[in-house]
Structure 1
């Protein structure tokens, strides 16, 4: 799976759903590297995931639930906690 890392990313402003505890390109570098997060933004909602680059990932039922849950939450069809700085 391909991972994206953001420069100047402030994880205290988002609700982290998944994160890596090691840098994806350097397993010796410990930290928190967000993979999926959500937040309320003005009158809307933001759901982000960096997962899903490979076809086999899309076939995984847990990944499908992750995507569908994020979409439903962003549309207001499901409740969910988006309080920032949860980790």
Structure 2
């Protein structure tokens, strides 16, 4: 599933440059994750880098509105990288 940045976000800008899929951008008030580009870093890293660098506990969580299997996330990675 894609990830979601909650309203706990303090706009520290730690997550945006770490995203290998350019899925994170500044929204109206806080950073947002584009679910069409988020692969939870599958294909790049073992765990999501945005969660690893975020200084706020539980600020970046699984997005219940965008549930995806690991296979779907890996397929999305392949498409985003132009490997398909």
TM-score, structure 1 as length reference: 0.36
Larger of the two Rg values belongs to structure? 1
User: Which is strand-richer, 1 or 2?
Assistant: 1
Tell which has more relative contact order, 1 or 2 (C-alpha 8 A, sep 6+).
2
TM-score, structure 2 as length reference: 0.37
